[in-house]
Amino acid sequence: MTSTTSDQDLFAGQGEEPAEGTVYTAMGGDWDDIVTEQHDRGDERIVVNMGPQHPSTHGVLRLILELDGETVTELRSSIGHLHTGIEKNTEFRTWTQAVAFITRADYVMPLHNELAYVLSVEKLLEIEDQITERTKIIRVMMAEWMRIASHLVALGTGGMELGATTIMTVGFREREKIMDVFEAITGLRMNHAYIRPGGVANDLPDHGLQLLKDTLKSIKKQMPELSKLANANPIVKSRLVGVGHLDLTACMALGVTGPILRAAGYDYDLRKALPYSGYEDYEFDIPVRDEGDSYARFRNRIDEMWESVRIIDQCVARLEETQGQRVMIDDPKIAWPAQLSIGSDGQGNSNEHLKHIMGQSMESLIHHFKLVTEGFRVPPGQAYVPTESAKGELGAHVVSDGGTKPFRVHLRDPSFHHLQALPALSEGGMIADVVVNIATIDPVLGGVDR
């Protein structure tokens, strides 16, 4: 750890005025030495640690706050405490097995992680035009359910952190219904590994369409309760309106995307700007507000959930029209060989498939074994497909050396970029507003420390 203080700004450009006050130069190690140096200065400012176990830091995040009374004069984010190693682990698994790691990055929106990764792999394989229509519809539908579920967590935990526990209970009540849909279709409530190169793991169960219709009906009926609780609530507005202002210029400079960018007045949405999975064929609007404060970010997420409901309505109608279509590419060299089905005993291979490979065709059994254990080869190259996740631009930069395992996978996670905005949101404000700012940018540290 090297840490020095001086009145010379080593990072000022040629011709630039140096920063006012004491300049800190810190490299490596921890912030403890900085705290000690600040203490030795002997002024009235204090350094406070928020986290890494503070309940309002959305995971293992540490914030170092320098305070003048209750006013935040400086904020530093300290990340890297989660140690997941997700990206590195993918280098030791096949292209399909890697999905089980990628889904665990931002664990609040696992299906968005899977979709970004799989689209990049399919681009390397040059099979994008072979993905069936039904597969694309299912992917879009699952992504929009995931968007609603993620926003409900953002709004619910944000409300809880402000003391509005009713917003939290309503948000999580509605999210549970979506978790039931995920469990019925994928066999799991979280970390699904459902979207795979070439398609999805399995089609909808027999009662899938009816379950989707019933859940949509319930969500449409109950979701307005969130708006009634919060939109015109004078206490909520007093905590959010004018707090954590981030204008469009700052958003562009800091790489901010998603609901935060749209709350600052820019109608940028990758589902419209660079459509993928057939999003160009769906009718939906992009909610935009220009206030750029915490209240605008809160309201924008509520509006976005209603647009997701519109898209899911269209998906259900299209799923009815495409019943019987394949949900995996028709290429035995790539397609996952297992015929998965959801039954009373959970998820597993269908009895018909097991009977075929175990008792009728030695060649099918060998192919199944080789493809599952060794995987398929991906041509050398690199690809990046950006997607519009619940939090903003999420993409996977995937590199292949021609083998059966990724050479490198790097996720462009929106939470990582949005944490850069915390100083701009918080410095000059009250310490109580730091919690508001964290809540309304909605970071998840699983995606940051990947």
Total domains in the fold of the chain: 2
For 100-141, what is each residue's pLDDT tens digit? Answer: 999 998 888 999 999 999 999 999 999 889 999 999 999 999
Which amino acid does the sequence have at 381?
G
Which of 78, 104, 134 finishes a domain?
78
pLDDT band at 35 (very low <50, low <70, confident <90, very high): low
Res 4 pLDDT > 80: no
Domain-located, residue 371? no
Question: For residue 259, what is the domain's CATH number?
Answer: 1.10.645.10
Same domain, 307 and 397: yes
Q: What is the pTM of this model?
A: 0.85
Output the pLDDT for position 55. 66
Output the pLDDT for position 442. 85
Output the pLDDT for position 274. 93
Res 22 pLDDT > 70: no
The CA distance from 425 to 437, in Å, is: 7
Same domain, 23 and 125: no
For 36-73, what is each residue's pLDDT tens digit? Answer: 766 666 566 788 888 776 666 667 888 888 888 888 88
Q: Which residues contact 199 (CB under 8 A, 6 or more apart)?
A: 131, 132, 135, 326, 327, 328, 329, 335, 336
For 272-317, what is each residue's pLDDT tens digit? Answer: 999 999 999 999 999 999 888 888 998 899 999 999 999 999 999 9
> Residue 379 in contact with residue 334, Cβ under 8 Å?
no
Name the DSSP class of 93: S
Res 10 pLDDT > 60: no
User: For residue 284, what are its two tokens?
Assistant: 């939906």
Which amino acid does the sequence have at 47?
V
Res 3 pLDDT > 60: no
Structural domain of 428: 94-334+376-448
Same domain, 104 and 225: yes
Q: Which residues contact 418 (CB under 8 A, 6 or more apart)?
A: 254, 256, 260, 391, 392, 441, 442, 443
pLDDT band at 2 (very low <50, low <70, confident <90, very high): very low
Burial 32-47 (b: 16+ CB within 10 A, else e): eebbebbeeeeeeeeb
The CA distance from 405 to 410, in Å, is: 14
Same domain, 53 and 180: no
Same domain, 176 and 46: no
